Amino acid sequence: MARGRRAAPRGAALNTASFPPTDTPRCDHTSVGVLISSAAGLLVFERATPPIGVAPVAGHIDQHGGPERAAHQETAEEVGLTATHLHLLLHRWRPNRCRRPTSQPPGHDWWIFQAHASGSLRPSAREVRTPRWAQPDQLQQLALRTAAYASGDLSESEFTAEPGLQPVWVGFLHELQLVTMDDAALTRIEEIA
């Protein structure tokens, strides 16, 4: 660990003090993720709401009526694009935390889609910061930053100021062979997801 840095405790989650008030809808434990690619890379952005991190389009399914419909609507809501040609890549349960209140253990049943998209990028100011097209080496650097946070080499404030991948996405992108991470790092990252 670098001198003078305060490490996040192993297994610690980011500070939840900025999470929404209790009138936020309850977590339905179902989520979608949408991977939109172009020649410029994979569309990612810093999430403007917790949990902190860089991620592709994602959101709860609850009020959308199903995974495919949620994928279309979340893409429109978050980045202003029209998702086309959805292809299901993964359907997995992950024990990741949520900003929404829940009485159950944290986690989501995830549907991860690949999609083509049309239209002009119009990011939501409420949900999106610094949208960009990330090349494979940039995704890998973001994953390594998350691994450094999970191992205590970056403090919470350092990770918040310059986030890596949102922890839940490291496992998904590793499984899809878009980033590479050893088993020990994946385990530490899952502990903070």
DSSP labels, 85-109: EEEEEEEEEE----SS--SSPS-EE
CB-count exposure of residue 138 (10 Å: 0-12, 13-18, 19+):
middle
For the question of whether the overall pTM of this predicted structure is more than 0.75, the answer is yes
Lowest mean pLDDT among 49-58, 61-70, 92-101, 134-143: 92-101
DSSP annotation of 81: P
Dihedral angle over CA of 110, 8, 14, 150, nearest 10: -20
Q: pLDDT digit string (tens) for 84-122? A: 899 999 999 888 777 665 666 677 789 999 999 999 999
Residue 9: count other Cβ atoms within 10 Å of its Cβ. Answer: 10
- Examine the pLDDT at 29 and tell me if it is beyond 80: no
pLDDT for res 103 = 62
Measured CA to CA, the distance from residue 129 to residue 53 in angstroms comes to 10
pLDDT for res 133 = 97
> CA angle, 108 as apex, 135 and 170 as ends, to 5°?
25
Q: What are phi and psi of 113, to 5 degrees?
A: -110, 150
pLDDT for res 178 = 97
